[in-house]
Amino acid sequence: MTNDYLYLIEIILRRETEGITLTNQFILLILEVLAVFGSGIILHKKKYISYRRLFQIFLLVAYAGVLMSFTVLRRQPGSRIGIVNLDVDLGVTANGIYSIWKVIFNGLNIILFVPWGFVVCSFFKNRGFLFRILASTVIGSVTSLFLECIQLLTGTGRFEVNDLITNTVGTFIGAVILAVGLSIMNIRGRRKKDIKERRDLVKKKLSILVGIILIAAAAMLRISHGDEDILKRNYNTTFFSNFNIPNVFKFRKSTWGAAQKYDLVWKAENVQYKDGKMSLKIDRDEAGPTGGEISTKKKFGFGLYQVRMKSIKNNGVVSAFFNYSRDGQKGTEIDIEFLGYDTTKVQFDYYTDCVGGHEYLYDLGFDSSEEYHDYAFDWSKDSIKWYVDGEMVYEANTDIPQMEAYIFMSAWPGDFPDWLREYDGKVPLYAYYDWCSYTSKEQVENDISSNEESKTE
């Protein structure tokens, strides 16, 4: 396993250093030396600057060149035009690591900015302990924002919110290490009493710093798991969200064109959160109709997929809960779809390796657009079972998909009059979602075994 991780690190490093050559770095270093020391020596002779400060400036400029090399200078301008990614994806949740690639990539991103925290913090040697750290962290954040904007404007890279976070964390770590080191070094050469006072002061500062970190961690925990309140969460589930807040760690909003006959586009602003519910909106802009869609950042396999929702009643529209994944001609899709022209029925369907044709229309006996109801499908290797309000209503046993897939929820108008009836263009329309969950097949089986054991006792 360790060798696999090392190989993955090697692949990432090779990809992220593509375009960086020793010749280019040597030329850049020569230019930096000439720029800093050429003018700096003159300023030193006029007693405007000390050699120590001059060396600090050189380190700052040199490492700024390193950061530019890794972000802007290694690609041709225009090679990555207009790519903006506002998702936060750290590769880890409360349930553990789900993307080793993301964890390693983010870790290397943090490490890249640790020396930047060292260099920036050295300019605040004579300032207070907390000031050094906070000022350095702010400068690191501004530096990262500058690099992300330059990449976007020159078309040399993506604007990534993920990078802003990891780069700022790296700067913070570097600043903390240097600030603590400087505080400890200042103790040297002092009398015993003074040494004790200084040590107590360092401990006090460290305590304040730990408090800040804990508050930040609590805030991050609130953002990443604030949609799992104790009143609605079933802790036997593997994945859960009650949609009381937008959770950028679990879900991403779709913002691209949909695979429809006309120019349907998913809009992030069509995904809204209010009063403990999520709404997906169908709307229209100058280019045409827009829909709302979110998907999980993690794929899930066999297990129980559940949602509590209320559909849209209108000709030509779909409100859906499903899973989906595709790799070439291999793929998985299992659907729970409400066709807006008749919301007293629900359509179950599934696709195996991009082949469908398994539609089944079930009569609910109620109007799914008027009240919230629970819907689910239990996916195993040999079957798919669909449920309505806890009761199994349909089962499929042939050609079952096997590939792990993301969970999706969407609301959209479709240009399929034979299937959905003609869409009348009415906007806005809203589908509402109360909560969704996934329970792995292993967890489901463990729960059944536990319940049976408790009954026999």
Q: Please identify every residue annotated as catalytic.
A: 333, 337
**Cα separations in angstroms, 6 against 2, 3, 9:** 6, 5, 5
